[in-house]
């Protein structure tokens, strides 16, 4: 890996108030690693004077400092001015940037406001990074000669990910790639494991690898999954891989850093199979996860979100007396849902879910968190199983869809 | 607000590698504000020795330090030990905690691993916070007498949100509520505005309020929405509210901190109306967002994810020649989708989407980002409109569903 020290500083009171969730750290983390760079530290500070303190702390200990947010037209946006002040540079006006801003606004029929000209100002010596998806340009501020304590490369980028990401792809990432070239290339391999806890993983293989001393070994527990992470030179990763695979066996979901939905969509494609979904308690999350994967349309035919009992009958042909006798959350109903979706769609597979997400709706025999799942397959017996996953509504939906996708994945792998 | 200085420190290499997205900052931000507390700063450090540096920096400048992660059973989990070392406390064994761990494992049929006893160790003087959803307990470490530079209250909590959040609710938040009691109570009001940019908002009302000097004014631009944020004493917020409402007019989506899907589900309930969805390019996200809201089942009847052309015909009755003539992404097809969903479901409203999410599938007349939307309403003319939202797949789905929900919201408000 490169020895360049990289830090990310997010600015914005909305992040600390919890009104917005940061997306920059995970995005940059993933994008920088293949360039041989790792983010050593990340921080979040509110708008206003704390930005100054955080910059002064970060400057002497970093080679590359990426600052996000605070470049907008409003009074709480002061990142540009704060950096200029610390570096003792005056602000200069960029007429070309102003032209771009005017053009963008007129195309969208938005009147020019007085304060927007602030966005065409930059500290002297800064390189402007054009923004194709918003008004505020980004800035690359190379070190001032003679100020030895300042970060050699400061990048100021706008807060919204849809503006920041294209700018980073066009300018920042290529620049950093050149800067980091020549360092040791490490790889990061993540083995996604379902059905085996992290202690078990460590006992079976992790401890042995940690003792070698030439690999970085990490574990990350997620809902219904452990990510087992190895970082090191390619040769060493190749050398230990067979023992990792032997230790995790069929608990391995993927040895690439693919999400479960990516794995399933790719496997369906490889096997020439198609899928339909019939969701009650997961309310469309299964379809949504699948359709987040580019190319899903080739394998995902259709999805039914049958939230009401009537819709289970109308759309999937679940007999009303089945629901009346066994309840909507039952083995019989989930089987009929999956088989109905298979029949209606003509797909190779159909997944169905019906359960009690909560917070209300639980009864003693079927508490909140109870869920029935089914996997129907053209020409085969339908698999039906029950799980109990009491948790908040969003985690419940995530865990249940994970379970459904994993069952389909196992079937596809063995096809 | 309380003058107590709060910091959040997230540990875990997976956060900096981008394999996991932090959820703690936004959660704590939202939970702490009503107690009169604001997070002044947040940081992320990798597993290992950087935790020590970050703790030493944070200790002298905070009153309450919340540290997440690094409490698991594996070798990369060293938060407990690092804190003990800095504070010169020995680690002591908690037999009760060990009993809880053993019980939990045996209930789930998992064998006890050697290293799991680490999770029953804690720095001397620490108060154990039981974990109902995992093995690692949390720890509350009050200051050591005589060490004046150390944070008065350190809280160590496990990384997974489904473990951390219930523990924080049961122990940490009530504790902090008592600690912060008596400070000035400020309120945070967020006005969600759709269809008006942040510069316009500032010109119309924001600048005037900023000049008063007794309010904190903030703006946060999101896909297709600006959050206009005011923080201050209740009396002052009440005083200025009429001028805010007058300035934003019908661009106001909500003056409570509710998500668009919450607003729509609540409005449907108030108006006694029901909804069905017919999604092509949004692939179930519309249904998924709606069913994230507790109580959605009372108003959301069913959803169709008609990804293939055949499913548009089979499930929604879209005539095949309509698709052949105009293409699946067209005014005619989206209208037929919405009206088909309305007819099939018997709902009051049906929303439909069909578009090109990308990255592939665009043609010159219909580039990536093109989307047609429709809102059908029982007994009324169907509204159909087109938008162009070129961006990555996930943002596209988010922006399009936001637009669809906002159209329904406006109709509901005027009912």
Distance CA A199, CA A206 (A): 9
Number of domains in chain B: 3
Position A346 in a domain: yes
Closest to B284 (Cα-Cα) out of A375, A315, A282? A282
CA B91 to chain centre: 37
Using the Cβ of A27 and the Cβ atoms of chain B, whether some distance falls under 8 Å is answered with yes
How close, in Å, is residue B283 to chain A by CA atoms? 5
Q: Virtual CA dihedral for B402, B405, B407, B412, nearest 10 degrees?
A: -150
Are residues B249 and B273 both part of a single domain? no
Position A1 in a domain: no
Chain A partners of B161 at a C-beta cutoff of 8 Å? Answer: 395
Q: How confident is the model at residue B330 (pLDDT cuts 50, 70, 90)?
A: very high
Token output for A372? 């029935």
Q: Do B229 and A13 touch (CB under 8 A)?
A: yes
Token output for B108? 């789930």
Q: Is the pLDDT of residue B223 over 90?
A: no
Mean pLDDT of A194-210: 88
Q: Do A287 and B291 touch (CB under 8 A)?
A: no
Nearest Cβ partner of B302 from A203, A218, A305?
A: A305
Nearest Cβ partner of B203 from A113, A199, A303?
A: A113
Q: Do A301 and B311 touch (CB under 8 A)?
A: yes
B360, containing H or E segment: none
Residues whose CB falls within 8 Å of the CB of residue A412, separated by 6 or more in sequence, listed in order: A264, A267, A268, A271, A273
Q: Do A345 and B54 touch (CB under 8 A)?
A: no
CATH number assigned to the domain comprising residue B112? 3.40.980.10
Residue A146 is predicted with a pLDDT of 64
Are residues B10 and B125 both part of a single domain? yes
Q: Which of residues 390-409 of A touch B (CB under 8 A)?
A: 391-395, 397
Closest chain A residue to B34 measured between Cα atoms?
Answer: A17
Q: How confident is the model at residue B85 (pLDDT cuts 50, 70, 90)?
A: very high
Q: Which of residues 197-216 of B touch A (CB under 8 A)?
A: 197-200, 202-203, 206-207, 210, 216
Are residues B26 and B141 both part of a single domain? yes
Q: Do B344 and A286 touch (CB under 8 A)?
A: no
Chain A partners of B300 at a C-beta cutoff of 8 Å? Answer: 283, 307
Position B264 in a domain: yes
Q: Pick the range with the lowest mean pLDDT from A143-152, A278-287, B103-112, B360-369.
A: A143-152
Are residues B330 and B389 both part of a single domain? yes
Closest chain A residue to B51 measured between Cα atoms?
Answer: A41
Q: Do B160 and A223 touch (CB under 8 A)?
A: yes
Mean pLDDT, chain B, integer:
90
Residue span of the structural domain in which B237 resides = 186-254
Mean pLDDT, chain A, integer:
90
Residue B337 is predicted with a pLDDT of 98
Residues whose CB falls within 8 Å of the CB of residue B225, separated by 6 or more in sequence, listed in order: B192, B193, B194, B253, B260, B402
Query: How many Cα atoms occupy the beta-carbon half-sphere of B48 within 13 Å?
Result: 9
Residue B145 is predicted with a pLDDT of 67
Residues paired with A186 in a beta bridge: A233
Query: How many Cα atoms occupy the beta-carbon half-sphere of A328 within 13 Å?
Result: 21
Using the Cβ of A117 and the Cβ atoms of chain B, whether some distance falls under 8 Å is answered with no
Q: Which of residues 34-53 of A touch B (CB under 8 A)?
A: 38-47, 50
Tens digit of each residue's pLDDT (9 = 90 or more) over A102-138: 888 787 777 777 777 888 999 999 999 999 888 889 9
Closest chain B residue to A280 measured between Cα atoms?
Answer: B302
Chain B partners of A28 at a C-beta cutoff of 8 Å? Answer: 18
Are residues A176 and A200 both part of a single domain? no
Position A25 in a domain: yes
Q: Is the pLDDT of residue B62 over 90?
A: yes
Q: Which of residues 304-363 of A touch B (CB under 8 A)?
A: 304-308, 310-311, 314-315, 344-346, 357-360
Q: Do A302 and B287 touch (CB under 8 A)?
A: no
Q: Which of B42-51, B356-365, B390-399 has the highest mean pLDDT?
A: B42-51
Mean pLDDT of B7-22: 92
Are residues B228 and B176 both part of a single domain? no
Q: Over pLDDT 90: what percentage of chain A?
A: 64
DSSP 8-state symbol, A206: I
Are residues B350 and B271 both part of a single domain? yes
CATH number assigned to the domain comprising residue B358? 3.90.950.20
Test the B interface: residue of A284, A337, A404 with most B CBs within 10 Å: A284
Contact A58, A82 (CB under 8 A): no
Query: Which single residue is written with the structure tokens 């009992």?
Result: A309
Token output for A247? 């230790």
Test the B interface: residue of A35, A44, A232 with most B CBs within 10 Å: A44
Q: Is the pLDDT of residue B161 over 80?
A: yes
Domain C-terminal end among A158, A180, A202: A180
Chain B partners of A29 at a C-beta cutoff of 8 Å? Answer: 15-19
Contact A342, A276 (CB under 8 A): yes
Strands B127-129 and B138-142: antiparallel
Domain C-terminal end among A129, A161, A180: A180
Are residues B224 and B331 both part of a single domain? no
Q: Is the pLDDT of residue B157 over 90?
A: yes
Closest to A63 (Cα-Cα) out of A121, A143, A127? A143
> How big, in percent rounded to 5, are the helix, strand and coil portions of chain B?
45, 25, 30
Provide DSSP, A275-332: EEEEESTTTTHHHHHHHTSTTGGGTEEEEEEE-SHHHHHHHH---HHHHHHH-SSSHH
Closest to A164 (Cα-Cα) out of B123, B391, B327, B343? B391
Q: What are phi and psi of B185, to 5 degrees?
A: -90, 115
Closest chain A residue to B345 measured between Cα atoms?
Answer: A311
Domain C-terminal end among A206, A230, A254: A254
Mean pLDDT of A194-206: 87
Using the Cβ of A33 and the Cβ atoms of chain B, whether some distance falls under 8 Å is answered with yes
Position A196 in a domain: yes
The greatest distance separating any two alpha carbons of chain A, rounded to the nearest whole angstrom, comes to 83
Q: Do B303 and A303 touch (CB under 8 A)?
A: yes
Residue A145 is predicted with a pLDDT of 67
How close, in Å, is residue A390 to chain B by CA atoms? 10
Contact B13, A218 (CB under 8 A): yes
Using the Cβ of B185 and the Cβ atoms of chain A, whether some distance falls under 8 Å is answered with no
Q: Count the Cβ atoms, other than its own, within 10 Å of residue B392.
A: 16
Residue B146 is predicted with a pLDDT of 64
Are residues B166 and B193 both part of a single domain? no
Residue B411 is predicted with a pLDDT of 94
Position B1 in a domain: no
Contact B201, B239 (CB under 8 A): no
Query: How many Cα atoms occupy the beta-carbon half-sphere of B180 within 13 Å?
Result: 25
How many helices, marked H, and strands, marked E, lie in chain A?
A: 16, 17
Position A126 in a domain: yes
Q: Over pLDDT 90: what percentage of chain B?
A: 64
Are residues B20 and B147 both part of a single domain? yes
Q: How far is CA B275 from CA A220, A414, B298, B307, in A?
A: 39, 40, 10, 20
Q: Pick the range with the lowest mean pLDDT from A81-90, A120-129, B195-204, B230-239.
A: B195-204
Q: Do A199 and B395 touch (CB under 8 A)?
A: no
Are residues A197 and A311 both part of a single domain? no
CATH number assigned to the domain comprising residue A237? 3.30.70.2860
How close, in Å, is residue B404 to chain A by CA atoms? 16
Does pTM top 0.90 for this prediction? no
Nearest Cβ partner of B199 from A42, A115, A218?
A: A115
Token output for B330? 């067209």
B297, containing H or E segment: none
Residue A228 is predicted with a pLDDT of 92
Q: Pick the range with the lowest mean pLDDT from A177-191, A260-274, A281-295.
A: A177-191
Test the B interface: residue of A5, A11, A18 with most B CBs within 10 Å: A18
Are residues A408 and A272 both part of a single domain? yes
Q: Is the pLDDT of residue A88 over 80?
A: yes
Residue B287 is predicted with a pLDDT of 97
Position B211 in a domain: yes
């Amino acid at each position: 890996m490169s020895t360049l020290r990289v830090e990310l500083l997010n600015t914005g009171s909305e992040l600390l108030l919890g009104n917005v969730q940061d997306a920059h750290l995970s995005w940059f983390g993933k994008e920088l690693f293949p360039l041989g760079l790792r983010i050593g530290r990340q921080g979040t500070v509110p708008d206003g004077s704390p930005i100054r303190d955080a910059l002064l702390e970060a400057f002497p200990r970093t080679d590359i400092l990426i600052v996000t947010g605070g470049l907008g037209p409003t009074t709480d946006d002061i990142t540009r001015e704060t950096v200029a002040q610390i570096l003792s540079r005056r602000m200069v006006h960029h007429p070309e940037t102003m032209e771009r801003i005017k053009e963008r606004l007129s195309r969208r029929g938005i009147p020019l406001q007085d304060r927007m000209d602030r966005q065409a100002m930059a500290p002297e010596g800064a390189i402007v990074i054009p923004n194709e998806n918003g008004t505020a340009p980004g800035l690359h501020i190379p070190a001032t000669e003679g100020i030895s304590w300042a970060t050699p490369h400061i990048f100021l980028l706008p807060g919204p990910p849809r503006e920041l990401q294209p700018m980073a792809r066009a300018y920042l990432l290529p620049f950093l790639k050149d800067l980091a070239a020549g360092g040791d290339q490490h790889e990061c391999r993540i083995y996604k494991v379902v059905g085996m806890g992290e202690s078990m993983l460590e006992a079976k293989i992790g401890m042995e690898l940690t003792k070698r001393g030439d690999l970085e070994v990490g574990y990350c527990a997620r809902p219904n999954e452990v990510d087992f992470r190895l970082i090191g030179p390619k040769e060493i990763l190749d050398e230990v891989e067979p023992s990792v695979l032997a230790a995790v066996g069929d608990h391995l979901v993927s040895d690439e850093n693919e999400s479960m939905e990516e794995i399933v969509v790719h496997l369906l494609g490889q096997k020439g199979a198609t899928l339909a979904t019939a969701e009650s308690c997961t309310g469309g999350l299964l379809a949504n996860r699948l359709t987040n994967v580019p190319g899903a349309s080739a394998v995902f035919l259709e999805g039914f979100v049958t939230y009401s009992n009537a819709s289970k009958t109308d759309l999937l042909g679940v007999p009303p007396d089945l629901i009346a006798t066994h309840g909507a959350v039952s083995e019989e109903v989930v089987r009929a849902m999956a088989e109905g979706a298979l029949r209606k769609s003509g797909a190779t597979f159909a997944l169905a879910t019906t359960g009690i997400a909560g917070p209300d709706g639980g009864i003693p025999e079927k508490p909140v968190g109870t869920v029935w799942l089914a996997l129907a397959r053209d020409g085969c017996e339908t698999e039906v199983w029950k799980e109990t996953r009491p948790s908040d509504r969003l985690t419940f939906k995530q865990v249940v869809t994970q379970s459904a996708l994993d069952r389909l994945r196992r079937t596809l792998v063995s096809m």
